[in-house]
């Protein structure tokens, strides 16, 4: 999902709607901050891992991303 897609979705929501992310062991919690990070895509990641990893400095194909940590 890109920011423009997220904005389109969010513009249709009540601005007082709560934003949640997955909790550590289960349930849900609110994000504590918004961070900009650089990641790279993992082509053959196992299904139980995400498709992106934090990018090392030497990575050529960095993708600027927004991260909502718990």
Length of the chain: 70
pTM to 2 decimals? 0.71
Question: pLDDT over 70 for what percent of the chain?
Answer: 100
As given in the structure block, the two tokens for residue 50 are 């995400």
Q: Is residue 4 part of a domain?
A: no
Mean of pLDDT values over 27-42: 92
Q: In terms of Cα–Cα distance, which of 13, 16, 15, 58 is closest to 40? A: 58
Read off φ and ψ for residue 36, nearest 5 degrees. -100, 125
pLDDT at residue 9 tops 90: yes
**Domain of residue 27, residue span:** 16-67
The mean of the pLDDT values for the chain is 91
* CA–CA dist 23, 3 (Å, integer): 23
Asked whether residue 10 is domain-assigned, the answer is: no
What is the total count of domains within the chain? 1
Residue 35 to residue 23: CA distance in whole angstroms: 18
Within-domain flag for 9: no
Task: Provide mean pLDDT across the span 29-48.
Answer: 91
For the cut 90, the answer to whether the pLDDT of residue 8 exceeds it is yes
Inside any domain, residue 23: yes
Interval 19-48 mean pLDDT: 90
């Amino acid at each position: 999902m890109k920011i423009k897609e997220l904005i389109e979705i969010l513009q249709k929501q009540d601005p007082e709607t709560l934003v949640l992310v997955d909790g550590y062991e289960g349930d849900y919690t609110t994000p504590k901050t918004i961070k900009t990070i650089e990641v790279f895509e993992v082509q053959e990641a196992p299904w139980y891992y995400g498709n992106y990893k934090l990018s090392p400095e030497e990575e050529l194909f960095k993708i600027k991303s927004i991260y909502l940590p718990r």
